[in-house]
Amino acid sequence: MFFRRIALSEKIDLSSYVPSEDEEFMNANQRAYFRAKLVAWRNDILREARETLDHLAEESANHPDLADRASSETDRAIELRARDRQRKLISKIDAALQRIEDGTYGYCEETGEPIGIKRLDARPIATLSIEAQERHERREKVYRDE
């Protein structure tokens, strides 16, 4: 269970806490909630990566059948590609944790406005508000279509 000190002796149980739009944005409870969520996500990714490495070490058997070998190599490539994406995700999680520490977490990097609790709960590594993200995606689409 995660506990975060709020006042002199008051504690909050983050296992049952749900951030709300009705409370002050990025108060101590919300920062503790998102920190715990990001750390748990990071730990899950690291655990899965260790499991993948163990599986790949066990799977390194030489397959005499060409079809089995090709299938095994394809599975291995897919697994490694997925782990590479997760490695990049870890750096985004670490950046979000750093933003929590420096007090900029939850605010749009483009506008400085609050990103919003619902968006952060769905995508805790978000750095842009929905509006800024939509503008960014429209610009990307325009440049991609040219």
Nearest residue to 106 via CA among 3, 30, 12: 30
Whole-model pTM?
0.76
Q: Is the pLDDT of residue 53 over 80?
A: no
How far is residue 124's CA from residue 38's CA, in Å, rounded to a whole number? 7
pLDDT value of residue 42: 96
Instruction: For the chain, list the domains and their CATH numbers.
Output: 25-104 (1.20.120.910), 106-145 (no CATH)
pLDDT value of residue 12: 57
How far is residue 13's CA from residue 31's CA, in Å, rounded to a whole number? 13
Residues above pLDDT 70, as percent of the chain: 83
How far is residue 80's CA from residue 48's CA, in Å, rounded to a whole number? 12
Comparing 4 with 141, which gets the higher pLDDT? 141
DSSP of the chain, one letter per residue?
--EEE-SSS-EEETTT----TTSPTT-HHHHHHHHHHHHHHHHHHHHHHHHHHHHHHHT-PPPSSHHHHHHHHHHHHHHHHHHHHHHHHHHHHHHHHHHHHHT-TTB-TTT-SB--HHHHHH-TT--S-HHHHHHHHHHHHHHHH-
Q: Per residue in 23-50, pLDDT tens?
A: 999 999 999 999 999 999 999 999 988 8
